[in-house]
């Protein structure tokens, strides 16, 4: 699997368990391998994982659509605030 993958998978799993998503800066990061590690981390948890890169390329993310849909049904947005709590 490789040394970096060996380090990334448990760290990503911990972030996914704690927050349902993980975000990381892409500077000095092999983005393709990190995204692969994120999918492997989710798979080990039995979760479907989506990964992506920000439009400006500065961050990479991983999230579970299953967890996100649960928070959406509860009326909680991606920031963790209930809809309507934030003024626009």
Give the whole-angstrom CA distance, residue 84 versus residue 88: 9
Other beta carbons within 10 angstroms of residue 27's beta carbon come to 8
For tokens 């961050």, name the residue: 59
Domains and CATH numbers, the chain: 3-73 (3.30.1370)
Helix (H, G, I), strand (E, B) or coil at 68: helix
What pLDDT digit, counting tens, does each position of 9-20 carry?
A: 999 999 999 999
State yes or no: pLDDT of 82 exceeds 90.
no
pLDDT in the model for residue 65: 81
State yes or no: pLDDT of 32 exceeds 90.
yes
What pTM, to 2 d.p., does this model score? 0.72
């Amino acid at each position: 699997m490789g040394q970096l993958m060996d380090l990334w998978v448990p760290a990503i799993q911990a972030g996914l368990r704690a927050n349902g998503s993980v975000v990381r800066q892409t500077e000095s990061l092999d983005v393709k391998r990190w995204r692969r590690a994120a999918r492997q981390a989710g798979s080990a948890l039995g979760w479907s994982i989506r990964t992506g890169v920000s439009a400006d390329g500065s961050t990479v993310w991983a999230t579970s659509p299953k967890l996100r849909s649960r928070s959406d049904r509860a009326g909680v947005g991606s920031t963790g605030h209930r809809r309507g709590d934030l003024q626009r």
